[in-house]
Amino acid sequence: MKEKLEMLLDELIFLKQQGVTSIYLQDSTLHAFKTTFNQLISSDHPESSAKIISTPISLPTSASSHIASHQPQIDLPEGDKEVQWNFLRDKVLNCSICNSHIKTGTKVVFGVGNLDADIFFCGEAPGADEEIQGKPFVGKAGQLLTKIIQAMGLRREDVYIGNIMNWRPEVPALFGNRPPTQEEMNFCLPYLKAQLTIVKPKVIVALGATAVNGLLGIDNKRRMGDIRGKWFEFQNVPLMVTFHPSYLLRNDTLYAKRQVWEDMLKVMEHLNFPISDKQRIFFQ
């Protein structure tokens, strides 16, 4: 039951990111959801069950001004890419702001991959699996991303994978995810830019709306359906926008898979990668 509620919350967050401002629910549906949610909470915290639903839930804001006033300044040391990457990784993993936002037993998440990669895959924020292992894209969405990379004729070790955020955004509940705020993304952006400076990729692939917002800035008029598959630019590097792998997990259709694959074909063509006839007809 808990897993289903998590899936529901993730779907609502996804709809909000796509610009959906309202959905219709029958009174019976709302009542059933409230009853189920209270039963779930009461099984773990009986004393809280009566007020979970009735109390308005707001996202944490107390740290926003603190984050905004402490954007990191990064001066990469002299040396090769490995020296610079190790310096940056140590700086991120020991960042006091980053560490103040993680739960006990979890980790700050830093990018991984080939420091000479042509492709830099940029995701949004760590999830439950990522904050435990301290690595990006290691959950179900990460497994799917690995399959996409393999379909391109590459290995995960051939690319670089990072996130807009270095920690999993806190939620005022026992479970669930939320998109990072603009302040949170702005704080972590210098760390991402420094990784790009070190790797010097030929293409950035922005995975999902949050990654796009973090890289290009929030635009309430922008819709993933309109910009997916189009080229932009960030830090003078060509930027391809596509859906996040989690979108494909929620929309397991040939049409959705083909959309993402067409975006990857554009990336491969831009990089002059060999593309076989078999690759061209994937998911048709």
Per-residue pLDDT at 264 exceeds 70: yes
Q: Which pLDDT belongs to residue 142?
A: 97
The predicted pLDDT at position 267 comes to 98
Residue 125's region, left for phi above 0, alpha for psi from -120 to 50, else beta, is: beta
Pairing outcome for strands 160-163 and 119-123 = parallel
Q: How many CA atoms lie within 13 A of 100 on its CB side?
A: 10
| Mean pLDDT computed over 240-264 | 97
Are 40 and 5 in contact by the 8 Å Cβ rule? The answer is yes
| Span 164-187, pLDDT tens digits | 999 999 887 656 778 899 999 999
Nearest to 142 by CA among 46, 225, 248: 248
| Concatenated DSSP letters of 146-174 | HHHHHHTT--GGGSEEEES-SSPPP-SSS
Output the pLDDT for position 62. 43
Cα distance between residue 279 and residue 107, in whole Å: 37
Q: Give the model's pLDDT for residue 170.
A: 87
pTM: 0.78
Above pLDDT 70, what percent of the chain?
74
Residue 158: predicted pLDDT: 98
The model's pLDDT over 108-165, given as tens digits with 9 standing for 90+, comes to 999 999 999 999 999 999 999 999 999 999 999 999 999 999 999 999 999 999 999 9
pLDDT at 248 over 90: yes
Cα(192)–Cα(188) distance, rounded to whole angstroms? 7
Give the SS3 label for residue 205: strand
**Closest C-alpha to 136, from 205, 128, 151:** 128
Can you name the residues that pair with 161 across neighbouring β-strands?
112, 121
SS3 71: coil
Cα separation of 64 and 74, whole Å?
21
User: Closest Cα partner for 60 from 175, 236, 180?
Assistant: 180
Q: Which pLDDT band holds residue 71 (cuts at 50, 70, 90)?
A: confident
Residue 237, exposed/middle/buried by CB under 10 A (0-12, 13-18, 19+)?
Answer: middle
DSSP 265-282: HHHHHHTT----HHHHTT
Residue 59 neighbours by CB distance under 10 Å: 12
**How does residue 5 score in pLDDT terms, banded at 50, 70 and 90?**
low
CA-based nearest residue to 97, from 133, 63, 131: 63
